[in-house]
Amino acid sequence: MRTGFFKNSFITAAAAVALALVFTPAVAGPIRILALGSSLTQGFGLPPGTEFPAVLQARLKAAGIDTIVINAGVSGDTSAGGLARLDWSLADHPKAAIVELGSNDALRGLPPSETEKNLSAIVEKLKSAHVPVLLCGMKAPRNLGTDYAKEFDPIYARLATKYHVLLFPFFLDGVAMDAKLNQADGMHPNAAGVKVIVARMLPYVKTLVAAARKAGH
């Protein structure tokens, strides 16, 4: 009888452990966000810790959102360059992605159709990997003429609609052309400018993280 008692007790305990494993939610780890971009992401001319990925991660942490923002920015990179290294970047197993590319395409006067083709391939590859995307819009330098701007500027909204991804309309919103928020070259944000970018983008990134969580990441 004592043997039966211990046997039944063991079965009951085992069942309790099994139920606990089934009904206890998994502990959610940090969401790994790939920041794929150019010098604007990489942090050209900025002291360490003041670049876009670092500031974004800090702001998310302050908001109680656990993330690791991977700095995959390369100074001078074009949309073609970003596409060429995307497979390597995906090896970091990101669960969400911010795509900031195209500014160097425009600075070089590359055909907008090529930029759109490359960005389209990047978004498609990320979506195929089940990585939610936040696409950051860019604007063509106005010294290239109105015709070029009319071809280039709408690329991002068109892709966001086509692929049903989040869109931050203009990465340099509130920063472009403001001398107080840019470095001496007038093109790259200073530390204060990065804070403005992050503050304006933060609600979009929160939505991106929520999408990653919903996707089971």
Catalytic residues: 39, 185, 188
**Can you tell me which residue has the tokens 């590359």?**
110
Are the C-beta atoms of residues 155 and 112 closer than 8 Å to each other? yes
Q: How far apart are CA 191 and CA 169, in angstroms?
A: 21
Are the C-beta atoms of residues 78 and 114 closer than 8 Å to each other? no
**Which amino acid, one-letter code, is at 183?**
Q
Q: How far apart are CA 52 and CA 127, in angstroms?
A: 23
Q: How far apart are CA 141 and CA 135, in angstroms?
A: 19
